Amino acid sequence: MLGLCGFFAVFGSGGVVQLRRIQAQQAETENDAFVLAQRNGRLRDHLQRLGTDDAYLEKVVRERLGWIKPGELVYRVDRRD
């Protein structure tokens, strides 16, 4: 009888094995939340700078759209080996 109680304490619902699994899931979820909070902070900063920093806005537009100013030269590098 004692062995059966021990078995259920370790492997039954609410047992040690399930507790360890839940703790691992919680740690993974907390890590995911931390990573997402960091990403949200970077995106929030990016949006704020786009709305208030004209030099930053110009930099982003030029990088993403490939815009150039009159008189500038564009150099394209072929990265194929």
Over the stretch 32-54, which tens digit does the pLDDT of each residue have?
Answer: 999 999 999 999 999 999 999 99
Residue 1: which pLDDT band, with cuts at 50, 70 and 90?
confident
Q: What is the pTM of this model?
A: 0.59
User: Under 8 Å CB-to-CB from 60, ≥6 apart: which residues?
Assistant: 50
| Residue spans per domain, the chain | 19-65
**15 phi/psi in degrees, rounded to 5:** -85, 180
Residues 6+ apart with CB under 8 A from 66: 74
